A and B are shown apart, each in its own frame.
Chain A
Amino acid sequence: MKLNLKIWRQENATAKGKMVDYPVDGIDGDMSFLEMLDILNEQLVEKGEDTIQFDHDCREGICGSCSLQINGEPHGPDKLIATCQLHMRSFKDGDTIYIEPFRAKAFPVIKDLIVDRTAFDRIQQAWGYVSVNTSGNTVDANTIPIEKEKADESFNAATCIGCGACVAACKNASAMLFTSAKVSQYALLPQGRVEATERVQAMVRQMDEEGFGNCSNTGACEIECPKGISLENIARMNREYLAASVKG
């Protein structure tokens, strides 16, 4: 398969970037998208050119590292997968593919296709956890009965891998789906209810401070999320936040 790649190149965080054309040949449909980029990088090394920098780690859709905007969509045209799970059979011989970094003011480009997503870490650090006294008297979580439905909803929210596709897909670069998934996974469980008020206030405050946009309910985040995180989490976070504001 022969492809024409248009890839965002940017020397560093302060440099001005631009799209650069890279024709690439010998691509097999069974290759993953990242393997295709590996082949391109090998060709660049042979030519003595600077390789294209992109994030990756597990390459099996778990870590959330691979963050590429492919033909205008986060993680490419296929749904419910991360970039590393995208295969080249999703493209045709002769296709032109645009590859850009996830764009948001809160996700500044570090180099080429790598963006700084530590804004998500700071939201998580704001209160994306349950405070547990580990003095030795900790109660086993399994002894607390939880409705199956609630446990499943919490688990589904917890499957968010923090890849940032929701931000990348949103026309407002909003981080509501990510933050709401993190709020929901605790808000749905009795262990998380204890600090629910403080948690939602702290995480939303941090989300706003990071400079993400507002949610205008377009639903793009839900469609592009590789883990299928539901918009229902955003509605739940809105309820949690408004209730927390009333409590003060």
Chain B
Amino acid sequence: MGGFLNSTIARKFAMALSGLFLVLFLAQHFSINFISVLSKDVFNEVSHFMGTNFFVQALLQPILIFGVIFHFVMGFILEAKNRGARDIKYVKFAGNENSSWVSRNMIYSGLVVLAFLGLHFYDFWFPEMIHKYIESHPEDAARYYDELVAKFQSPVRTILYVVSFVFLALHLYHGFSSSFQSVGWRNKYAKGLRGFTKAYAIIIPLGFIFIALFHYINNL
């Protein structure tokens, strides 16, 4: 596997697969978060299941964390090689004439998403791990909704989340459709698929923005 990942194409393939996996996770995460807008009780119930189910906690969660770390580390490795491939820069480079800003700056949108993940883990994941596995509090199935809403009482945090989701949208706008090219999937359905990926890249982050703003406004 190490030898396989030495090649340009294999690295891009691995990058695409990890990205597609994270896209799937994002849909699942959005679906559960959106329940918080509809019903406090159902949100608590689903969150309790996700937070206590052995399969989710012991198997899916480590796979997800590996996927996230792999995607970022591989992103940095690819970026380092790309920067080294042109040691002397152009005095004038008209990138906008032949490609989109988003496609040329995936590293920057990715870095914003990475910084956001740090904040998101600080807000939710680390407290959850400490609550369950370090301080070993008795499980309270009704706590999840209140914990979520409490975070969005801060306007600064809400703004940070909204801005991060905008960058997530930019990252997905190129990354999602690009991943199919990297795995070699390009046929008569490619145009339709590209439309779906672009729509997904806008709708899902917009949905996350809606959830953040909903809870902030709801608690004013």
Instruction: Give the interface of A toward B (CB within 8 A).
Output: 6, 8, 19, 69, 71-73, 77, 98, 100, 103-106, 109, 169, 171-174, 176, 204-205, 207-208, 211-220, 223-224, 231-232, 234-242, 245
Contact = CB atoms under 8 A, between A and B. Distances in A.
Given A212-B85, A220-B99, A73 B94 contact: yes
B98 A6 contact: no
Interface residues of B, number: 39
Contacts of A100: 90-92
The 8 A-B pairs at the shortest CB distance, nearest first, are namely A72-B94, A239-B184, A213-B85, A235-B186, A238-B184, A172-B82, A218-B99, A223-B98
A238 B12 CA distance: 9
A71 B178 contact: no
Contact of B91 (A98, A205, A217): A98
Contacts of A220: 95, 98-99
B7 A237 contact: no
B105 to A, nearest CB: 9
B98 A103 contact: no
9 contacts: A103-B86, A215-B182, A216-B178, A218-B103, A219-B98, A220-B98, A238-B12, A238-B182, A240-B184
Contacts of B183: 238, 242
A204 B93 contact: no
A213 B82 contact: yes
B81 A214 contact: yes
B78 interface: yes
B85 A106 contact: yes
A242 B84 contact: no
B82 A217 contact: no
Interface string B94-111: 110111100110100000
A219 B103 contact: yes
A217 B9 contact: no
Interface string B199-215: 00000000000000000
Nearest to A243: B184
Interface of B: 4, 6-13, 78, 81-82, 84-95, 97-100, 103-104, 106, 174, 178, 181-186
B82 A171 contact: yes
Given A72-B92, A171-B104, A217-B174, A204 B9 contact: yes
B192 to A, nearest CB: 16
A105 B84 contact: yes
Interface-centre pick from B7, B10, B98, B182 (highest chain A CB count, 10 A): B98
A55 B28 CA distance: 55
B82 A241 contact: no
Given A211-B85, A215-B12, A171 B99 contact: yes
B94 to A, nearest CB: 3
A224 B93 CA distance: 13
B12 A173 contact: no
A218 B104 contact: yes
A69 B95 contact: no
A217 B190 CA distance: 14
A89 B8 CA distance: 41
A132 to B, nearest CB: 27
Contacts of A77: 97
Given A204-B9, A215-B12, A238-B184, A6 B99 contact: no
Nearest to A236: B184
A211 B84 contact: yes
A217 B81 CA distance: 15
B9 A71 contact: no
Contacts of B98: 73, 169, 218-220, 223-224
Most interface-central of A69, A217, A219, A220 (chain B CB within 10 A): A217
A6 B91 contact: yes
A98 to B, nearest CB: 4
Contact of A105 (B7, B86, B92, B106): B86
